[in-house]
Chain A
Amino acid sequence: MKYSLLTGLLLAFVLVGCRPSQKITRINPNTTTDLSGKWNDTDARLVAEEMITDALSKPWLNQFNRNNQKPPVVIVGRVRNESMEHIETEVFTKELERSFVNSGEISVVASSEERADIRDERLDQQANASYETTKKLGQELGADFMLIGNINSIVDEAVDSRTLAVFYTVNLEFVNIQTNQKVWIGNKKIKKFIERRNYRGMP
Chain B
Amino acid sequence: MLDDAQFDLRDSFTAADYQSSEELLKKFKKKDIYRSKDQVLYNLESGMIYHFSNKYDSSSFYLSNAENEIDQNYTKSVSRGVGAFLTNDNKLVYDGEPYEDVYLNAFKALNFIHLQDWDAALVETRRMTYKMTQLDIKIKGLASSFAKSDSTGKTDWETGDVNIQNSAMGHYLSTVLYAKAGDIDDARIEREKLEIALKEQANLSSGRNLVQSDLSKLQNPNTYNVLLAGFTGRAPYKVQEDARVFMDDYDDKKDDEFYLKFSFPVLKTYNSEVNYVRAVVNDSITTPLDLIEQMDKVSAEVYKAKQPIIYSRALLRASTKAIGTKLISGAVREKNEFLGDLLQILGFIAQETTEKADLRSWQTMPGQSWMKTIKLPEGINTVRIEYIGRNGRVRYFDEFEVTITANTELELVESIYAN
Q: Which residues of A contact B (CB under 8 A)?
A: 36, 80-86, 155, 157, 159, 161, 196-203
User: Once the chains bind, are A80 and B119 in contact (CB under 8 Å)?
Assistant: yes
Can you list 8 A-B pairs with a CB-CB distance of less than 8 A? A81-B119, A84-B126, A161-B134, A197-B75, A198-B75, A199-B81, A201-B78, A203-B36
- Given A83-B126, A159-B141, 7 more A-B residue pairs with CB atoms under 8 Å apart are A84-B126, A86-B123, A159-B137, A161-B134, A199-B78, A201-B79, A203-B37
0/1 string, B112-154, CB within 8 A of A gives 1: 0000000110110011001000100110010000000000000
Interface of B is mostly: helix
- Judge whether B77 is part of the interface by a CB distance below 8 angstroms: yes
Q: Which residues of B contact A (CB under 8 A)?
A: 36-37, 68, 74-81, 119-120, 122-123, 126-127, 130, 134, 137-138, 141
Q: Which residues of chain A have C-beta atoms less than 8 A from B122's C-beta?
A: 82
A87 to chain B, nearest CB (A): 8
Q: Which residues of chain A have C-beta atoms less than 8 A from B123's C-beta?
A: 81, 83-86
Assembled-state Cα–Cα distance A80/B120 (Å)? 10
User: Once the chains bind, are B75 and A200 in contact (CB under 8 Å)?
Assistant: yes
Closest 4 CB pairs of A and B: A203-B77, A197-B75, A84-B126, A199-B78
Q: Which residues of chain A have C-beta atoms less than 8 A from B130's C-beta?
A: 84, 155
User: Once the chains bind, are B119 and A200 in contact (CB under 8 Å)?
Assistant: no
User: Which of the residues A85, A159, A199 comes within 8 Å of B77, measured between beta carbons?
Assistant: A199
Q: Which residues of chain A have C-beta atoms less than 8 A from B79's C-beta?
A: 201-203
User: Once the chains bind, are B76 and A200 in contact (CB under 8 Å)?
Assistant: yes
User: Once the chains bind, are B75 and A196 in contact (CB under 8 Å)?
Assistant: yes
User: Once the chains bind, are B120 and A86 in contact (CB under 8 Å)?
Assistant: yes
A152 to chain B, nearest CB (A): 10
Q: Which residues of chain A have C-beta atoms less than 8 A from B120's C-beta?
A: 81, 86
User: Once the chains bind, are B138 and A200 in contact (CB under 8 Å)?
Assistant: no
Q: Which residues of chain A have C-beta atoms less than 8 A from B141's C-beta?
A: 159
B58 to chain A, nearest CB (A): 16
Assembled-state Cα–Cα distance A11/B77 (Å)? 31
User: Once the chains bind, are A199 and B76 in contact (CB under 8 Å)?
Assistant: yes
User: Once the chains bind, are B74 and A200 in contact (CB under 8 Å)?
Assistant: no
User: Once the chains bind, are B77 and A202 in contact (CB under 8 Å)?
Assistant: yes
User: Once the chains bind, are B126 and A200 in contact (CB under 8 Å)?
Assistant: no
User: Once the chains bind, are B77 and A200 in contact (CB under 8 Å)?
Assistant: yes
Assembled-state Cα–Cα distance A81/B127 (Å)? 13
A110 to chain B, nearest CB (A): 21
Q: Which residues of chain A have C-beta atoms less than 8 A from B81's C-beta?
A: 199
User: Once the chains bind, are A200 and B127 in contact (CB under 8 Å)?
Assistant: no
Assembled-state Cα–Cα distance A148/B123 (Å)? 19
Minimum CB distance partner of A81 in chain B: B119
User: Once the chains bind, are B75 and A84 in contact (CB under 8 Å)?
Assistant: no
A35 to chain B, nearest CB (A): 11
By CB atoms of chain A within 10 A, which of B122, B123, B130 has the most?
Answer: B123
Assembled-state Cα–Cα distance A82/B130 (Å)? 13
Q: Which residues of chain A have C-beta atoms less than 8 A from B137's C-beta?
A: 159
Assembled-state Cα–Cα distance A81/B119 (Å)? 6
Known interface pairs A81-B119, A81-B123, A85-B123; A200-B78 also in contact (CB < 8 Å): yes
Assembled-state Cα–Cα distance A36/B80 (Å)? 23
Assembled-state Cα–Cα distance A86/B121 (Å)? 10
Q: Which residues of chain A have C-beta atoms less than 8 A from B68's C-beta?
A: 36
Minimum CB distance partner of A197 in chain B: B75
B160 to chain A, nearest CB (A): 19
B90 to chain A, nearest CB (A): 14
User: Which of the residues A36, A81, A159, A199 comes within 8 Å of B75, measured between beta carbons?
Assistant: A199
By CB atoms of chain B within 10 A, which of A80, A84, A85, A196 has the most?
Answer: A84
A164 to chain B, nearest CB (A): 10
Assembled-state Cα–Cα distance A159/B123 (Å)? 22
Minimum CB distance partner of B123 in chain A: A86
Q: Which residues of chain A have C-beta atoms less than 8 A from B78's C-beta?
A: 199-201
Q: Which residues of chain B have C-beta atoms less than 8 A from A198's C-beta?
A: 75-76
Minimum CB distance partner of B128 in chain A: A84
User: Once the chains bind, are A157 and B134 in contact (CB under 8 Å)?
Assistant: yes
Assembled-state Cα–Cα distance A84/B122 (Å)? 8
Assembled-state Cα–Cα distance A81/B137 (Å)? 27
Assembled-state Cα–Cα distance A74/B26 (Å)? 51
User: Once the chains bind, are A159 and B74 in contact (CB under 8 Å)?
Assistant: no
Q: Which residues of chain B have C-beta atoms less than 8 A from A201's C-beta?
A: 77-79
Q: Which residues of chain B have C-beta atoms less than 8 A from A161's C-beta?
A: 74, 134
User: Which of the residues B36, B76, B127 comes within 8 Å of A84, measured between beta carbons?
Assistant: B127
Assembled-state Cα–Cα distance A200/B78 (Å)? 6
Assembled-state Cα–Cα distance A157/B79 (Å)? 27
